[in-house]
């Protein structure tokens, strides 16, 4: 008999280990009726295994972890892990609903909407901001989406609204939380289209990053799937809180089902950054659990200056388009020894 639902994550040696442990601990503690849902962790590339300490913790949490060389052809592109692992899970895990989760997430309430209603094959969140997305014919990134539409056979145009700026862009969803009905074959179609696009060397203007996410979005359009959207308190973009539209912002931690924290907890001032989030009331008990988990997994290792240097590099890149070559980040790196 099929399982009603299963969770799928990727865990490889290094920072993903602490992230995956925090994620799975939060599922077991806060997910209510879904807290005992089977969790399948995959290490999809050849190389050193995860630490024995992590493996032991997984066993205690009831996480099924496997190192299988699923990602061989695109070994150097770690984001290829997602479509390849998801397709493998779709073909090998006997569950009605599969939920793929990026490891940089943490739950605080039961995700009831993971149990997709009849007639719904896929549920996601729109991408937070425009990013590599296109607003349409006048957008400088439009050519990339038109090429994907052509190669993958999109017949129907779909648009979504971004939580940041309320921009209307071509259907572009965040691939860090994807719930699918397994029988629809969405993950397998994603993998096949991803391989096709990679072999054709079709990349967005900014480079190879996010190819897997844009290909998933275009795959859904090509399949004609009616993509349902999780509410904004699912995979809540915590570091982007102050930039989200009012309609997308949560006011109290108790409203949050899960957070998407990106690199937030790896910077030594992560708790200061949370204090700067406007009109967000923190639940002391849940926050204390989060604080203890972050410290237990030794996550905040990165000096704050590193974040500032990344900002400087973005500015330098923009200035270089105007032939203004300023290497302030190099000087900062040398002086600070980042």
Q: Indicate the burial class of 78 (C-beta count within 10 angstroms; 0-12, 13-18, 19 or more).
A: middle
Residues near 118 by beta carbon (within 8 Å), at least 6 away in sequence: none
pLDDT at 211: 97
Helix-helix angle 186-199:142-152, to 10 degrees: 110
On whether the pTM is more than 0.85, the answer is yes
Domains of the chain and CATH, by start: 3-229 (3.90.550.10), 305-336 (no CATH)
Would you state the structure tokens that stand for residue 89, as one six-digit string?
């899970």
Helix-helix angle 81-92:186-199, to 10 degrees: 150
In contact, 57 and 168? CB cutoff 8 Å: no
Residues near 285 by beta carbon (within 8 Å), at least 6 away in sequence: none
Nearest to 305 by CA among 331, 279, 277: 331
Q: What is the pLDDT of residues 69-110, one digit of tens each?
A: 999 999 999 999 999 999 999 999 999 999 999 999 999 999
Helix, strand, coil percentages in the chain from 3-state DSSP, rounded to 5: 45, 15, 40
Whole-angstrom distance, CA of residue 32 vs CA of residue 39: 15
Q: What is the pLDDT of residues 287-333, one digit of tens each?
A: 999 999 999 999 998 887 766 666 656 665 666 666 667 665 565 55
pLDDT at 303: 81
Whole-angstrom distance, CA of residue 236 vs CA of residue 125: 9
pLDDT at 324: 66
Whole-angstrom distance, CA of residue 275 vs CA of residue 155: 46
Q: For residues 100-133, b (16+ Cβ closer than 10 Å) or e, as one string?
A: bbbbbbbbbbebebbebeeebbbbbbbbbbbbbb
pLDDT at 325: 72
Would you state the structure tokens that stand for residue 259, as one six-digit string?
């957070």
> Which residues of the chain fall short of a pLDDT of 70?
1, 306-324, 326-338
For residue 298, give the 3-state DSSP assignment: coil
Indicate the pairing of strand 3-10 with strand 228-229.
unpaired
Q: How many CA atoms lie within 13 A of 188 on its CB side?
A: 9
φ and ψ of 229, to 5 deg: -115, 130
pLDDT at 302: 85
Indicate the pairing of strand 95-101 with strand 3-10.
parallel
């Amino acid at each position: 008999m099929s399982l009603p639902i299963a969770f799928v994550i990727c865990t490889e040696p290094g920072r993903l280990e602490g992230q995956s442990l925090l994620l799975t601990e939060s599922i077991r503690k806060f997910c209510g009726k879904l807290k005992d849902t089977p969790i399948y962790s995959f290490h999809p590339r050849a190389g050193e295994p995860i630490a024995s300490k992590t493996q032991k913790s997984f066993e205690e949490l009831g996480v099924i972890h496997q190192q299988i060389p699923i990602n061989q052809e695109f070994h150097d592109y770690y984001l290829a892990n997602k479509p390849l692992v998801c397709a493998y899970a779709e073909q090998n895990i006997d569950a009605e609903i599969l939920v793929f989760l990026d490891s940089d997430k943490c739950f605080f309430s039961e995700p009831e909407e993971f149990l997709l209603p009849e007639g719904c094959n896929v549920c996601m969140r729109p991408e937070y901001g425009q990013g590599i997305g296109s607003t349409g014919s006048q957008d400088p990134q439009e050519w990339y989406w038109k090429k994907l539409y052509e190669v993958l056979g999109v017949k129907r145009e779909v648009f979504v609204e971004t939580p940041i700026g309320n921009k209307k862009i071509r259907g572009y969803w965040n691939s860090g939380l994807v719930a699918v009905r397994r029988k629809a074959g969405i993950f397998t179609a994603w993998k096949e289209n991803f391989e096709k696009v990679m072999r054709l060397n079709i990349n967005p203007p900014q480079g190879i990053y996010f190819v897997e996410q844009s290909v998933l979005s275009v795959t859904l359009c090509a399949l004609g799937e009616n993509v349902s959207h999780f509410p904004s308190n699912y995979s809540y973009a915590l570091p982007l809180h102050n930039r989200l539209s009012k309609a997308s912002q949560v006011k109290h931690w108790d409203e949050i089902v899960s957070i998407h924290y990106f690199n937030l907890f790896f910077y030594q001032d992560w708790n200061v950054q949370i204090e700067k989030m406007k009109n967000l009331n923190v639940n002391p008990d849940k926050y204390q659990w989060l604080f203890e988990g972050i410290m237990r997994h030794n996550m905040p290792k990165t000096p704050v200056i590193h974040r500032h240097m990344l900002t400087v590099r973005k500015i330098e890149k923009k200035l270089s388009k105007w032939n203004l070559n300023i290497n302030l980040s190099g000087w900062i790196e040398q002086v600070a020894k980042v």
